[in-house]
Amino acid sequence: MAAEAKQSSYEGSEVESFQFYLQHSGEHQAVVQFLTKNLPDQLIRMGADKSSLAVLGVGSGGGEVDVHMLSLMQSTFSTLPITADVVEGSAELVAKFKALVKRTGNLQKIPFTWNTMPSEEYIQKAIGSGDMKTFDFIHMIQMLYYVDDLTKTMQFYHGLLNKNGRLMIIIESANSGWDTLWRTFSKELCNETLPVYRSSSDVLASLKSLGLKYGEHFVPNTFDVTECFDPDSKTGQRLLSFLTARESFYQSFTPQIRTDILNLLRRECSTEKEGKVSFNSDLSCVFVHA
């Protein structure tokens, strides 16, 4: 979650840090497993009586999850043409996404439109030009932490949905380890890149304020943070830096704050069994109806 830099500057070392986190946490595998089981039913509803399907991914990163969802759409609707628009602020990640598409043979039939820009710029461009393209499926996975106005952002994208469309939002669950860590140490962790922490509770509050119909589903996930408590472990140091969105955990905080964070991480954000500390990184998936 939190160590993803703002889309417009998510390059270089941030990309490497995020890829390391994904490999260690198994987050993408948990999301893919959930979507494989739950997305087809949503697709059938949104694709009812449609002659084609238009998809928009906002903050799609390197496209690993997008490719899986598009493949699910193709298997669900074998005869319907599908188009895919992508909004992603990192040029490096867009390049990775394009390379992944080239390596995935079944996606060659899908025309892609690439928008290498952060969400705010895409919104401003669409409103300014009056070109309000609409979609049947819009997904926003782990990107709402960095938008300027949560409610207005969701309202805009919801307004782009076609009949029976779905806006899918995946974000850290309320009361997850991320939520506990970042709300407890918001003063120390939030900065100009991430001025306000958000979880599923904030998303649901905004959706309720907009009067939108939605359904929430949980995506369980944990990962091993045992090495975070070994100051000599390079893996532990890299995980701590990602968990706190700092380039160097041990250089960024006072000894007392470091101790307090580690204690919270062990006692309230994780479970411990037989010497292994497992961080609670549960996610929430929210399907918002058109």
- Which of 64, 61, 2 has the alpha carbon at shortest distance from 30? 64
Query: What per-residue confidence (pLDDT) applies to 17?
Result: 80
Query: What per-residue confidence (pLDDT) applies to 19?
Result: 81
C-beta separation of 286 from 206 below 8 A: no
Residue type, 132: M
Query: What per-residue confidence (pLDDT) applies to 7?
Result: 39
Query: What per-residue confidence (pLDDT) applies to 183?
Result: 95
Q: Using 70 as the pLDDT threshold, list the residues of the chain that sit under it.
A: 1-13
Query: What per-residue confidence (pLDDT) applies to 130?
Result: 81
Pairing state between β 112-115 and 161-172: unpaired
Query: What per-residue confidence (pLDDT) applies to 8?
Result: 41
Query: What per-residue confidence (pLDDT) applies to 4?
Result: 41
Report in angstroms the alpha-carbon separations of 225 from 169, 212, 238.
26, 37, 11
Query: What per-residue confidence (pLDDT) applies to 6?
Result: 41
CATH of domain 7-173+195-224+281-289: 3.40.50.150
